[in-house]
Amino acid sequence: MKKNESTNKTIAGQNSDRKLSSVEKEPKLFLELMLQLHSDGTFFMNYEEKYYYIKEKIGKDEEVEVKLTNFIIVPLFTSKSSNGNQVYILKLLSKNETKVVEFEGEVLAMSANFKKHCMNTGRFNWTGSQYHLNSLIDFILGSITKDIETLNYKGWNQDEKIWLFPSHAYYKNKVFFPDEFGIFNINEKYLKLNCDKNNEYNIHPHINTQPSKNLVKDYFIGLKRLYGNYAHLCFGYIVASLNVDAIFSKTDFFPFLYLFGKHGQGKSTVLSTFSRFAGMKVSLSSPPTLDSLRKGLSKSSGIPFIVDEAEEKSGSLKGNDFFKNLAEAIKNTYMRQPFIRGDKDEDKKIIYPVRGTLMLGGEVLTSVSAIIQRSILVDSTKIVQEEQTYSFLRENDTVAYWVGQYLMRTSHEWEENFLELYDEIMNYFRKQNLENMHVRVRANYSIFLAAAFAAYKQLNSLWEGDLFLSEKEEVKDIYQFAISEMKETQRLTSEDHPSLDFLRKVGLLANKGQLVPNVDYKCVGDKDGNVYLHLAPSNVVDAYKNSEKNPFYGSSNKVVKDLQTQSFFKGFKKIRIGSSQPNSWIIQLSDPKNPESIKEGLVHPELPDTMIYFYR
């Protein structure tokens, strides 16, 4: 490199709002490093014209330049790829273009691979030898001092306590923007988002202008006018998602929000409207495959993954039924257990953590009771159709985006209140004579209500007033509504499921004498005061199939798979029933909380009333 070549040029594409590395800030230092590197005089750089070259003698005292490139390199950062390989982030500058390019180590190490990658990236040509590339690598390794942490998902980062999106980031109520390379500098850490662009989930840019108190109040009044108390539950779902890691550490699960009802009743509008509180513009699409579901839930953290048209299909479409095909995966999501699949490498597994939450919408409510029990249900037939209010909400959708962004960046401030409110609401429901209510149902509603109330309090404190829930009667009305909805969910779970209908038919068959005691079934009183019904599987299923014109269950395996999800199913046991000794199904008939009532024939509260016939 010639010492008399210009050293006062700045590197193209600098961003004055970004903290620059020492290499970018000091072009002179950059040139001095190159001089030191090539002090043997065999490798030179023309900084002004942007190329590397060597000198070749053509006579005794005459030399000519032989260009090795049509570009030069400014080293920026190092990072790690998704497979753990070292990545070097370099700026390539030519006379005509500038690009920031990522090179994995194996690409940078070999001259032929390096040339291909440069050519694939742009009009950058490398004609140097491996020897020349080795010298360039020495320079790159000696110049890079900043390491980037690359994240493969957007949203909440639990380790760094940062909300990270392509266009902006939040950390403890502060807003950060990426530099020209898409890199965030937060607390002296360099972070880059590297996730697939998904047009279905566009993140709204950060909103600087705070809406007025009255506009926010009117927006929520509009939500209440259209959706009634469902508005609190839907809003609570989104807000709870923003602190999903905190509440999951307390409960070990997180419920779904599930809208159902006939076409044209506003389900899709609800999904779109409330998703704005998560900062998302959502284009609703058909149910995903298993691969899309696990990728969707792992690529977004603390924000919803929305499935529209999630419903049971009939006829030729039955094979595409979302719930029947993916029921186990959906339940797995409730427990937030990672998805695991195999790889070509037998010793390797691919893991998809569950980071997002699940929001569902469909015309027909699923018959899978395990999904119903894990959901907050929203009946779209109760939505008010009022075009003027719809228009107002559409015209002012930035209110929802702003509120969601504000609650994101202050999520650390209201997290503790959210958790405390969850305990308070759970205790309140315990005192409301809901002993037979499944604890899972009570907890689901407690999570969403606690989140909504914590968010309302945070917004109230922002405007130093009673913007939300200032009247005790309003809060009482919300609680009464929630209790009514919980009872309906309990009813749907315990009465309408096919396994309960199967047991109802079995009880009627026993009453008619078509199932015989000590032949097809046997009741056993235990020393703990409970009564257990032992069913001979083959006998019971055959009698059921013979009595039904179109039996839902065709085999005992299918029946027991559903029965096992019920709390009254207590497993299997070989027991003598008449002349045979089947591996019986054990059903707990008595309610363990009321053993003194067994003589009166009190059955387990989740069983059909016809089970009383087995007390004869």
Q: What is the mean pLDDT of the chain?
A: 84
Same domain, 100 and 136: yes
pLDDT at residue 265 is higher than 60: yes
Distance, CA of 449 to chain centre: 20
What's the number of domains the chain is made of? 4
Query: What's the DSSP call for residue 527?
Result: T
Q: What percent of the chain has pLDDT over 90?
A: 45
Alpha-carbon torsion, ordered 235, 241, 246, 250, to 10 deg: 80
Does a structural domain hold residue 11? Answer: no
Residue count of the chain, please give it: 616
Same domain, 344 and 383: yes
| Dihedral sign, Cα of residue 448, residue 453, residue 457, residue 463 | positive
Q: Which of 67-71, 404-408, 428-432 has the highest mean pLDDT?
A: 404-408
The whole-number pLDDT of residue 454 equals 97
Q: How many angstroms separate the CA atoms of 470 and 42, rounded?
A: 79
Return the structure tokens found at 511. 């009453």
Helices (H), 464-520: 472-495, 498-512
Distances (CA, A) of 192 to 11, 169, 329, 516: 22, 11, 30, 69
Domain boundary among 126, 144, 162: 144
Same domain, 225 and 363: yes
> pLDDT of 169-205, one tens digit each?
999 999 999 988 788 999 888 998 877 655 556 899 9
Does a structural domain hold residue 272? Answer: yes
Alpha-carbon torsion, ordered 511, 517, 522, 527, to 10 deg: 90
Q: Say how many Å lie between the first and final Cα of the chain, rounded.
A: 102
> pLDDT of 133-171, one tens digit each?
998 888 888 887 788 888 889 999 999 999 999 999 999
The whole-number pLDDT of residue 314 equals 54
Q: Residue-wise over 534-564: b if at least 16 C-beta within 10 A, else e? A: bbbbebbbebbeeeeeeebbeebeebbebbe
Domain boundary among 435, 460, 494: 494
Q: What are phi and psi of 151, to 5 degrees?
A: -110, 135
The whole-number pLDDT of residue 446 equals 96
Same domain, 222 and 301: yes
Same domain, 163 and 134: no
Return the structure tokens found at 386. 């009022």
Same domain, 140 and 159: no
Does a structural domain hold residue 7? Answer: no
From 170, 191, 151, 231, select the one nearest 402 (Cα to Cα).
Answer: 170
Same domain, 408 and 542: no
> pLDDT of 461-480, one tens digit each?
999 888 898 888 999 999 99
Same domain, 270 and 124: no
Residue of 254 and 549 predicted with greater confidence: 254
Same domain, 309 and 416: yes
Residue of 185 and 592 predicted with greater confidence: 185
Does a structural domain hold residue 254? Answer: yes
- Beta strands across the sheet bearing 162-164: 174-176, 169-171, 162-164, 154-157, 300-301
Min mean pLDDT across 256-270, 353-367, 495-509, 589-603 is at 589-603
Confidence bin at 22 (pLDDT 50/70/90): very low
| Dihedral sign, Cα of residue 339, residue 342, residue 343, residue 347 | positive
Q: Residue-wise over 387-401: b if at least 16 C-beta within 10 A, else e? A: eebbebbeeeeebbb
Min mean pLDDT across 42-56, 201-215, 348-362 is at 42-56
Min mean pLDDT across 193-197, 244-248, 272-276 is at 193-197
Return the structure tokens found at 405. 């962004």
Confidence bin at 429 (pLDDT 50/70/90): very high
Query: Would you say 169 and 163 are in contact if contact means Cβ atoms under 8 Å apart?
Result: yes
Tell me the average pLDDT across 330-342.
86
Query: Would you say 149 and 123 are in contact if contact means Cβ atoms under 8 Å apart?
Result: no
Q: What percent of the chain has pLDDT over 70?
A: 86
Does a structural domain hold residue 9? Answer: no
The whole-number pLDDT of residue 549 equals 80
Same domain, 263 and 306: yes
The whole-number pLDDT of residue 34 equals 52
Tell me the average pLDDT across 85-104.
91
Does a structural domain hold residue 263? Answer: yes
Min mean pLDDT across 84-88, 254-258, 295-299, 601-605 is at 601-605
Structural domain boundaries, residue 545: 497-615
Same domain, 29 and 66: yes
Same domain, 516 and 490: no
pLDDT at residue 33 is higher than 70: no
The whole-number pLDDT of residue 419 equals 97
Q: How many angstroms separate the CA atoms of 182 and 122, rounded?
A: 19
Q: Count the neighbouring beta carbons within 10 Å of the beta carbon of residue 61.
A: 6
Does a structural domain hold residue 354? Answer: yes
Confidence bin at 593 (pLDDT 50/70/90): low
Does a structural domain hold residue 503? Answer: yes
The whole-number pLDDT of residue 3 equals 35
Domain boundary among 195, 223, 255: 195
From 143, 128, 137, select the one nearest 51 (Cα to Cα).
Answer: 128
Return the structure tokens found at 296. 């969707």
